[in-house]
Every structure is written in C-alpha cells, then in structure tokens.
Structure 1
Amino acid sequence: MAETGQKLALVTGATGFTGGHLARVLLERGWKVRALARQHEAGRALAALGAEIVVGDITDRTAVAAAVAGCSHVFHIAAYYRGSSLDPEIYHAVNVEGTRHILEAAEAAGVERVVHCSTVGVHGDVTNVPADETAPFAPGDIYQETKLEGEMLAAQAFAGRLPGAIVRPAGIYGPGDMRFLKLFRTIHKRQFRMFGTGEVLYHFTYVADLVEGILLAGTEPKALGETVIIGGAQYITLNELVRLVADAVGVAPPRGRLPIAPLLVAARVSEAVCRPLGLNAPLQVRQCDFFLKDRAFDISKARRLLGFTPSVALDDGLRRTAEWYFREGHLKRK
C-alpha cells in the first residue's frame, strides 16, 4: 500500500467488530483515524491507540457532517445488524438514511475516496454457485433489504461526482466476533444438531483478510466506481464447516441429523406469537436459513481488480477464533 502521509480516515462503526479491526490496522500503518461513536467511552480503546473520537450518531446529519469534515477517506462500516429491535424504522434510519448522510457529507467535504461496506446478503439465497457481483438481488429480511437500499444510494453517488467503491463481504469471522460464538459453543458443548443434509454451502471471510480488501478498495485507482465481493479463498459445505469447528475447539464432530421441516414450523410459530407483542422471537425463520441456503461466492473480480489475495486459511482462522473464545472465557476448556 502506498504511503498515506497526513491522510485522515473516518471509520464509522469503529467500535464494532469489523470497523474496530480496520481502525487499528489504519493506525498501525500510519493513518490518522477519526472514529464516529455514539459515546466517547465506547471509543476509549481506540483513543488510547491515537484515534480521534467524535461523539455522534450516524442518524444525525449534523454530527455526520462534522465527523467527515477534513477527512481524505471515509470507510463506512456502521450498520444495524439484526439487533433486538424488530422495528423496520431503526434498520432504515441506520442502514439507509445513515448511509445517505455519509454520502452527502463526503461529497460536500470533497473527500478523496469513500468505501461503503455492504454485504453478500443482498443476493439472498444463491441459486447459481459461486455467485459473482452480477448475481440477482434477493434480500431475505429487513436487514438485507435496507443494506441493499443503502448500497444503491452508494452506487448512485459513485456513478456521479463522489469517488468511491463498494465491498460486499461474505460471512465475517475472527477473534473478536460474537455472531458465530453460538455455533462454536454448541459444538464445543456437544449440543449442536444438524438439520437437513448439511450439504448447503457456506463462505467465510477472516476479518484480517476483509480489512485488506477494504483498504485496497480505498486506495487502488481501479476500484473507483466498482463493487467487489470479498471472501475467503474457499467455500465449503456446512458439514465440512462443522467438522472444522469441532477440530478447532477440540471435540469430535457431531453425528446424526434431524429433518428441517419441524424446525421451520417451530420458527414460524415462534414468530407468530412474538411479533404481535413486539418481542424478538427466540427462534426465527431466518435462523433456519443457516441449514437451507447456499452462500458461495466468486472473488475473482477482487483478485483481478484489487490484487486481493486471502492470506488466512479457513482451518487456521477457525483455530485462531476458537483460541480467542477460550482466552476471553466465552468457551471453557474441558
């Protein structure tokens, strides 16, 4: 990567998993980093490393404009990801309007480059694998729908006067991630149950590789105006994934499988009971997608256009993630 000099990068979502990794790597490589955080306390660790913390919310246009002012680069990572609230307005306010605020502020400030972080989830259930950037859009829930809306805003802006690029990461994992902890924990406790055949495909992206892809999208001239999928070097079946996680946590792979139909029925009942009450259903249909939908992607455009090369093999990345879970006490060694 070229020398960055006195360039200043705003990272939204810097107190989260991916944004935090990105902010730390930028600091290590000599960038000046500004982080937009809802509370200064949340950014204390980054501040200790030299980042400037600007208190504000992505949904506040004025706060966003202040955060963007003076920046050469903006890495827009922040998103509302399937949180406890089922209110579509929250997803829209963060994933759509928050993105709009970033794009408007970046254009007004004349930034050199914006990188918008989307998701391969905009493609939904992949029918032709591996899917590339031209695959049909088929968002399956409010998160994916609003991420697609935000991506469309970014694509429109980048086709005009604002220099930028869009990245669509596949499933992000690594030390610090909490979304896949449940999978590791249930396999470690021998409580995991496979529903269906287990032959659906899954594609992971180790967070350090994703950060490299995002940085390339933010610095390579060929990335301007482009959309690229960022993922690991391989996609595998769910059966293979479970075996690798079992190896990473030091247990024998689970055996046997159960039919998927009863799980889907239970999920629909759970949602039907909880949604009228405004409650987050303990079992949701989207969670069943883990056992049903193919997620396998072609990263050749990122390789060709950006020179992106994943460096962390899946088995190694899963071991590193498991070790972090053990070290932090999320998993208990037997």
Structure 2
Amino acid sequence: MTQKPIYLVTGAGGFVGSHLVRYLADRGVRVRAMVRKPEQAAALEGLAEEVVIGDLQEPETLAPAVSGVAGIYHIAAVFRQEGLADEVFREINATGVRRMLDAGIEAGVPRFILCSTNGVHSDIDHPPADENYPFNPGDIYQQTKLEGELIAMEYFHEGRIRGLALRPTMIWGPGDGRMRKLFRMIAQRRFFYIGRGEALTHWIDVRDLCAAFKLAMDAEELNAEAFLIGGATFQTLRETTAEIAGQLGVKEPSLHLPVAPMMTLAWLTEMMCKPLGVEPPLFRRRVNFFLKNRAYSTDKAEKVLGFRPKQDLAGEISDIIAAYRISGDLPDNTNIQSREMHP
C-alpha cells in the first residue's frame, strides 16, 4: 500500500508548533517535527512520527528535514526577546524563511505555509483592518516577520514553490507561557492598566489557528495569498481582563497609570539595563501593549479558506485557566477567593 504523505512542522518545540504537531497527528496526518535543540525532542515523542534537528542559522541542517515531505508548515521564528541584536532577528525571521524555501525547492517540496503575524500591520487607526491595510511594523520582530513574508510571497509569485501566508492575531491558548504573567497578575490583584484600557484586542485560540493552517495546506488551488486569522470577535483590553477576573473570582482591575510618565520610565529603564545585558523590568513595547489597537476582519479567511473559529473568548479563558491550574501556574479557586474575601 502507498504510504500517506508526511508533512514538516518547523518550530515544533514552541507553543504554536507543538500544538500544530498534536492537531495534525490527532487527525491522522503523518508529521515530521523539526526542533532546534535535541532536548526538545522528548516532548514530541508519541506525537510526531519523526523528529529532526534543524537550525535556521545552519542551512546545512535543513536538507534532512525537508527530504520527502509533501508540505512545510514554517512556524519557527524568534519572538520578542530583549537583548538580541537586530541581526539575529533578521537572520532567523527573514533569511531563515529564504533558507527553508530554498531547501524545500531543492527537495521538490510542492507547498509551503508560512506563519506570519498581524504585527505586519501593527497599530490599526481605523479598525477593523483587512489584509490590504498598509504595512506598518512597530519593532524589529514585526519588521523581520514582514521581511520573511515578502520573501515568501516573491517565491510564490515567481512559481518557484506554491504557498500561503497566515497572519494570526494575538495567539493564546492552553499552556501559553507568554500569557501566564497576565493571568497571575490578575489573580493576585496586581494587574494595572497604562492608559484607559480601551485599546482593542483580537485573540485567536491556538487550536483554531492550527485548523487554519491545515485548511491552508489543503487548499492546493490557492497560491501567493495572505490571510488574517483571528477569533470571532475583538474587544477592549478592559473587556478581556474583566472576563479573566470574573472567571478567577477576583475583582476587575481598576488601577490606571498615566501613559506619558510610564513611557518615559520605560525608556529610562531600557537605557540603564541594556548596557548591562539585563532584561529591563519595563520597556516601551510593554507599554505599547496597552495602547495599540489590534482588531481585524477575518472575512477573507472565512470566504476563501472556509475558516470559522470554534472557540469563544469565555471558553478560551476557561481552558487557559484550567491548564494553568493543572500545571501549578495558578492557584485553585479556593485560594483565590480566600484572598479576595480576606485581603
């Protein structure tokens, strides 16, 4: 019997990549998972059929990863990390895309699905934005992700390989380490706003995002298109935190700090910490989290890809909290309610 095709997932050791490996495997898809460090392989045993070591900064390691695969889900990237030189972001998020494309073409891989980001648009003046909204990256991460997307689109348009780019909105879901601090601060009643808390947030559950990736891979007739992938609704930051607080059984955050002094403090903190190689406790990007509108139209993804998110905000938050409690990253309801009743 002919063996089913196998698909490569890069960045399989990360949050999105590991969820995608599980999502595909649960649906009977053969998966080869690419991780950068050998110690990341153990967590993928029993999920991926194969695990390979590959590094976007070492092109010679990519050929074994792409050999014989029917398609590449390119998730690997370096996210926002303080202290990294701009050249590192560019080598991984832009040049790394080119290296994966070249390796895939050399191996005869027919399809490439790129994980881009809504950050190529950054702050939205007149929400919601669609895929035609002007590019306006706000930091080195967003800038290099845009560069990577443009490289991929060039290859797609030239017919060197076929593929699509997905621009996820604000990704979260069970097991998300990046959101842990937000939930813990709300649970401990230490969360505060910078500004009014009225900036728009648009979340996408990682499980819905995985479904969008598979739809994109399966839509072989589509090429050189970009799609914004987001949840069914967007809401203000205050509405998001109010829902989290309600499910945690604590009061909604109410402290609001002024923007200008906090932005100045963030700038000063960065200036003092960076020469010492220390990650600053407050930086301008974190302040901008409270200020930028991120709200998008996902009509194109629905009409063209057939993508419709199954999750909703309340359910997503409930699942995230449950996962944090299982992992010990959040206390249980009894402890939280006790602190609320006896401050």
What's the TM-score once normalised by structure 1's chain length?
A: 0.96
Amino acid at match of 1:73: G
How many pairs were matched up? Answer: 331
CA distance in 1, matches of 2:50, 2:176: 24
CA distance in 2, matches of 1:94, 1:11: 16
CA distance in 2, matches of 1:308, 1:150: 24
Q: 1:50: how far off?
A: 4.2
CA contact (8 A) 1:131 1:298 kept: yes
Aligned to 2:173: 174
CA distance in 2, matches of 1:316, 1:237: 17
Q: 1:275: how far off?
A: 2.3
Aligned to 1:140: 138
CA distance in 2, matches of 1:305, 1:221: 12
- Specify every segment of 5 or more residues in structure 1 that has no aligned partner in the other structure, as ranges: none
CA contact (8 A) 1:5 1:31 kept: no
Written as runs of structure 1 = structure 2, the 5 A alignment for 1:1-334 is: 6-161=4-159, 162-333=161-332, 334=335
CA distance in 2, matches of 1:59, 1:250: 46
Three-state SS of the structure 2 residue aligned to 1:34 is strand
Amino acid at match of 2:309: P
CA distance in 1, matches of 2:221, 2:309: 19
200-209 vs 247-256, which moves further: 247-256
Structure 1 residues 256 and 47: CA distance shift in structure 2, 3 A: closer
Three-state SS of the structure 1 residue aligned to 2:32 is strand
CA distance in 1, matches of 2:244, 2:29: 35
CA contact (8 A) 1:86 1:278 kept: no
Three-state SS of the structure 2 residue aligned to 1:114 is strand
CA distance in 1, matches of 2:154, 2:247: 43
192-201 vs 230-239, which moves further: 192-201
Structure 1 residues 313 and 108: CA distance shift in structure 2, 3 A: same
CA distance in 2, matches of 1:5, 1:170: 36
Aligned to 2:339: none
58-67 vs 209-218, which moves further: 58-67
CA distance in 1, matches of 2:199, 2:37: 40
User: Which deviations, in whole Å up to 9, do the C-alpha atoms of 1:269-316 show, x marking residues without a partner?
Assistant: 011112233332221101011111100011000000000001001111
CA contact (8 A) 2:33 2:48 kept: no
CA contact (8 A) 1:170 1:229 kept: yes
CA contact (8 A) 2:116 2:168 kept: yes
CA contact (8 A) 2:83 2:274 kept: no
Structure 1 residues 50 and 285: CA distance shift in structure 2, 3 A: closer
User: Which deviations, in whole Å up to 9, do the C-alpha atoms of 1:175-234 show, x marking residues without a partner?
Assistant: 010111111111000001122111110000001100011111111134322100000000
Amino acid at match of 2:17: G
Three-state SS of the structure 2 residue aligned to 1:271 is helix
What's the TM-score once normalised by structure 2's chain length?
A: 0.93
User: Which deviations, in whole Å up to 9, do the C-alpha atoms of 1:68-98 show, x marking residues without a partner?
Assistant: 1111010000110012432112111211121
- Specify every segment of 5 or more residues in structure 2 that has no aligned partner in the other structure, as ranges: 336-343
Q: 1:103: how far off?
A: 0.7
CA distance in 2, matches of 1:224, 1:321: 34
Structure 1 residues 252 and 222: CA distance shift in structure 2, 3 A: farther
174-183 vs 221-230, which moves further: 221-230
Three-state SS of the structure 2 residue aligned to 1:223 is coil
Q: 1:250: how far off?
A: 2.2
Q: 1:5: how far off?
A: 6.1
CA contact (8 A) 1:5 1:30 kept: no
Three-state SS of the structure 2 residue aligned to 1:291 is coil
Amino acid at match of 1:105: A
CA distance in 2, matches of 1:147, 1:85: 18
CA contact (8 A) 1:222 1:305 kept: no
Name the Cα RMSD after superposition: 1.4
Three-state SS of the structure 1 residue aligned to 2:282 is coil
CA contact (8 A) 1:86 1:280 kept: no
